[in-house]
Every structure is written in C-alpha cells, then in structure tokens.
Amino acid sequence: MQRDSSTPRRAGAPGERVTGKPGPLRRFDVKGLGDIVYESRSDVAAEIAVVIPLYNYADTIDETLGSVAGQDLAALAIVVIDDCSTDESGQQAIAFLESRAARFATARVVRHRRNQGLSMARNSGIAWSGEPYLFMLDADNRLRPPALSRLLDALNCSGADFAYSQLRMFGDEEGIGLADIWQPQRFAIGNYIDAMALIRREALLAAGGYAVLADDHGWEDYDLWCRFVELGFEGVFLPELLCDYRVHSASMLRSRTNKHHDALTAEMRLRHPSLFRGGDQRE
C-alpha cells in the first residue's frame, strides 16, 4: 500500500500507523553534547543530509567523505560528528570539507566534548541537521554512485519510511551482504539490514532516534529496525550494490559486537518481547 509521503506519522501502539507531528528526539538537549568546529552554508536547500559519526578513523575518513562528494545529487548536506577523537581524523574532515566547500549545500563538523558512543553520535547528527532525509554512514564505509539518488527515488515511489540496498563487503573479507526484501518477522531471528539506509527524518524522530544499548556494544541499527516494526513503519529494498561495507579488525562488528552476541540477543528480547515472542512461536 502506498501512502502520501508528505504525511508525518508519530508513535502509537505497536503496529498502529498514526499521523501527527513528530516528537522531540530526546528529553535533553542533544546539541549540548558538542560544538560546531566547522560550518559552510549556501543558499541551496538539500533534501538529504549524510550523517557521519567519526571516532579515530584518520586512515579512512577522506575516502568516506570522497564517496559522498562523488554522489550525483547536485544539492547535498553533510554532518560529521567527531565523537572526541584522539587522532587527527576530525582535522582531516575539516580540511576535506574546506577544500570541497562548493560541493555541499551545507557542511558541518561538530565535536563532542567527550566520547558518547555511536548511538549518541548519530543522534547528534540528527539534531544538527534539518533535511527531510538522513543517511547514516560510518567513517570507514563508502557510498557508491548513484546510491543516494537511487534510494531517494525508491522512497518517493514507494512511500516507505526508509530505503536500503545490498552491501558489497571489502577489506579483510570480500563478498555480498545479507540484505533482502522487507520482512518484519525476520527480525525475530536476526538483523539483515545494515545502518546504511536513507531514512525519513519524521520516522527517526517518531522512533526516538538511536537507543544506547547496555554497555554500548552495537546493534543500534537492529534495535531501530525492531522499533520501526513495532511502530508499523516500512522499508523498501533495492537489490543493487550501492554501499560498501569495510571489514577490518578495528570495526565494531569484528572488535565488539561478535564478542557480546549472547548478551545483545538477550537485551533485544527484553526490549522487543512481542516481536521475539512471535518468532519463538513460529519456530
């Protein structure tokens, strides 16, 4: 079923699709976590903002930013959230954006006053942007052209709340990701959609942004998709290789998430009992 993409929706009972103005992202001032250290603005309005959480990725941030600059959308905004990096990655991001200032409708680097973790870095990106569509891109991954325009077309055509594509794995491992068509019941088994997705701002606000899970060991995207299911939101899948996921020893998937799989699974069951109870019954 297609809906009017201009109609915002707010959170209601699980599975209920309701309309209204989106609520606040958090009860406290997310912007108060950091300060703008670089900003460039033009009179051009962009539909999409790419949010890049950054923590100690001096080796890859230029490549990541270059993949955004290489997109085929003429008007594009970018927000880098430097999560109190201890290397030179924040300065590198500023230098890159200064050299390509004319490329972006808005470019902004915000530095957190202390390390907040991935979830809050993404939430800061939401708070420090105003565009109606947001794409979450980690500082070690890449976009392939024309990823953003293709995903935006998919949202406009489908009326879905977010759009995602297939991943290409590169780095320490080569391969294709696990993404597939939107099937909410599959989340009771595990996550199959990466954080690299184009999401309507109104949907992110209705869901309350990204949650900080226990011990901050990952799966923030999995938790968000589960909340989307509970809110009756929908995703649309593009079976195209539009995003590159870097596999390396320092990535969260390798260094933290895998070691805490059992604990994270237990937390997900506690956070989303109705979703996982349904999965247990199907088994």
Domain boundaries, the chain: 25-282
Q: How far apart are CA 36 and CA 39, in angstroms?
A: 7
Could you write out the DSSP letters of every residue in 61-120? HHHHHHHHHTSS-SS-EEEEEE-S-SSSHHHHHHHHHHHTGGG-SEEEEEEESS---HHH
Residue 31: name the closest of 140, 116, 134, 136 by CA: 116
Q: pLDDT per residue over 118-139, tens digit each?
A: 999 999 999 999 999 999 999 9
Residue 205: name the closest of 223, 183, 228, 182 by CA: 228
Query: Does the predicted TM-score (pTM) go above 0.75?
Result: yes
- Residue 214: its pLDDT value, please? 72
Burial (Cβ within 10 Å: 0-12, 13-18, ≥19) of residue 280: exposed
% of the chain exceeding 90 in pLDDT: 73
- Residue 20: its pLDDT value, please? 45
DSSP secondary-structure letter at 169? E
Opening angle at CA 95, ends 90 and 99, nearest 5: 150
Lowest mean pLDDT among 101-105, 132-136, 272-276: 272-276
Q: How far apart are CA 223 and CA 213, in angstroms?
A: 9
- Residue 265: its pLDDT value, please? 79
- Residue 26: its pLDDT value, please? 47
- Please name the CATH architecture into which domain 25-282 falls: Alpha-Beta Complex (3.90)
Residue 64, pLDDT above cutoff 50: yes
CA 180 to chain centre: 18
Opening angle at CA 207, ends 117 and 78, nearest 5: 55
159 Rama class: left (phi>0) / alpha (psi -120 to 50) / beta: left
Residue 34 banded pLDDT, cuts 50, 70, 90: very high
Question: 107 versus 269: which is more confidently predicted?
Answer: 107
Q: How far apart are CA 234 and CA 236, in angstroms?
A: 7
Q: How far apart are CA 183 and CA 140, in angstroms?
A: 28
Q: How far apart are CA 76 and CA 172, in angstroms?
A: 31
- Residue 94: its pLDDT value, please? 98
Q: How far apart are CA 81 and CA 63, in angstroms?
A: 16
Mean pLDDT of 183-208: 95
% of the chain exceeding 70 in pLDDT: 83
